[in-house]
Amino acid sequence: EENGHENKRLKRDADEEDVEDQNKKSPKRKIVLLMAYSGKGYHGMQRNVGSSQFKTIEDDLVSALVQSGCIPENHGEDMKKMSFQRCARTDKGVSAAGQIVSLKVRLIDDILEKINNHLPSHIRILGLKRVTGGFNSKNKCDARTYSYMLPTFAFAHKDHDVQEEVYRLDKETLEKVNKLLACYKGTHNFHNFTSQKGPRDPSAKRYIMEMYCGEPFVRENIEFAVIKVKGQSFMMHQIRKMIGLVIAIVKGYAAESIIERSWGEEKVDVPKAPGLGLVLERVHFEKYNRRFGNDGLHEPLEWTEEEEKIAVFKEQYIYPTIINTEREEKSMVSWLNTLSIHDFSSSVVGMQANNKNSK
């Protein structure tokens, strides 16, 4: 009898050791994943638990994490359990080449390969790094860089009859575009560049580090250019409205002074450029890297080794989607036709003043 008890105890101990061994092999660790995706057909990055008709990038990601065995199924239902945090909430249709998410996972063997096996080809995990236990990708991020790819005929003056495939951006127009984009640099009140924020809301103040338009290039007979913008953080639709307003000025619909005016308290009608060309290029963790990047335990959150994979993904999935969708759906052409219905000259304050004067 004693021997029987002993055997049972030994078996139980052995079972517990097996479980412990398994856990030791794949313990839960805080990591970041470097993600790239084409956002067409998705309602943005962030998951909306409970509204399954709007598919998001995170729906596909969480499903792949569960299927690959990185997280238990119940963590997929309640993302707080795995301390999940995305660095940027990309809007509907917006793509990313360097999105970062932080979460706790089981570090299984061949983890990237296994997650990617359960993802569609237009969503890829390109890199993984271990981070500190308290790391939060949204709070620790000190800047974000976006790009916006657009056909250059968007900058053609409204009084010129433009053949889209023939149009080529001249040097003077590009210089004018860059002069206007540079006006956004520094800290300004961007309440007119998003919805649901009043002029006195402190969170409407945002800091822009750089903004410029690169040299144009031709793809599928259409000339495109890429605008880059780096800022501390951005509000919903902010970048698309910043670009929309510059296009309206260059096309001759609005005066240059409207940019300065838009930072004041009055409500200004700012048009929002289409979402198609917007791409989250990279996110910056400069403070974190200075503090933990070389402490011997953690790697800096830099992705030089992954640069080539990022470039290949953009060429394969992001740029062709933007170019083909533009050719087929003509989202920029349709949007440009709406610019004439915006009222760039008047404002609520201006109209009130005019009324007083006429009285």
Q: Do 112 and 128 contact (CB within 8 A), yes or no?
A: yes
- pLDDT of residue 167 exceeding 60, the answer is yes
Kindly report the pTM of this predicted structure: 0.86
Output the six-digit token pair for 77. Answer: 């239902």
Q: Do 243 and 293 contact (CB within 8 A), yes or no?
A: no
Q: Do 222 and 323 contact (CB within 8 A), yes or no?
A: yes
Q: What is the pLDDT of residue 26?
A: 65
pLDDT range class, residue 63, cuts 50, 70, 90? very high
Q: What is the pLDDT of residue 18?
A: 46
Reported as a single tens digit per residue, the pLDDT across 341-358 is 999 986 544 444 444 444
Reported as a single tens digit per residue, the pLDDT across 129-138 is 999 888 999 9
Output the six-digit token pair for 158. Answer: 């409204």
Average pLDDT over residues 170-179: 98
- pLDDT of residue 107 exceeding 80, the answer is yes
Q: Do 199 and 349 contact (CB within 8 A), yes or no?
A: no
Question: What's the mean pLDDT when you consider all of the chain?
Answer: 89
Reported as a single tens digit per residue, the pLDDT across 258-284 is 999 999 999 999 999 999 999 999 999
Class of domain 28-140: alpha beta
Q: Do 88 and 35 contact (CB within 8 A), yes or no?
A: no
pLDDT range class, residue 8, cuts 50, 70, 90? low
Q: What is the pLDDT of residue 19?
A: 40
Query: Catalytic pick from 18, 91, 170, 343?
Result: 91
CB atoms within 10 A of CB 115: 23
- pLDDT of residue 163 exceeding 90, the answer is no
Reported as a single tens digit per residue, the pLDDT across 282-303 is 999 999 999 988 888 888 999 9
Instruction: Decide if 91 is catalytic.
Output: yes
Q: Do 200 and 184 contact (CB within 8 A), yes or no?
A: no
pLDDT range class, residue 75, cuts 50, 70, 90? confident
- Specify the amino acid at residue 98: G
Q: What is the pLDDT of residue 348?
A: 44
Reported as a single tens digit per residue, the pLDDT across 325-342 is 999 999 999 999 999 999
319 is an annotated ligand-binding site residue = no
Residues 91, 49: Cα–Cα separation, whole Å: 16
What are the sequence ranges of the domains in the chain? 28-140, 143-287+306-342
CATH topology of domain 143-287+306-342: Alpha-Beta Plaits (3.30.70)
Main-chain phi, psi angles of 26, to 5 degrees: -130, 70
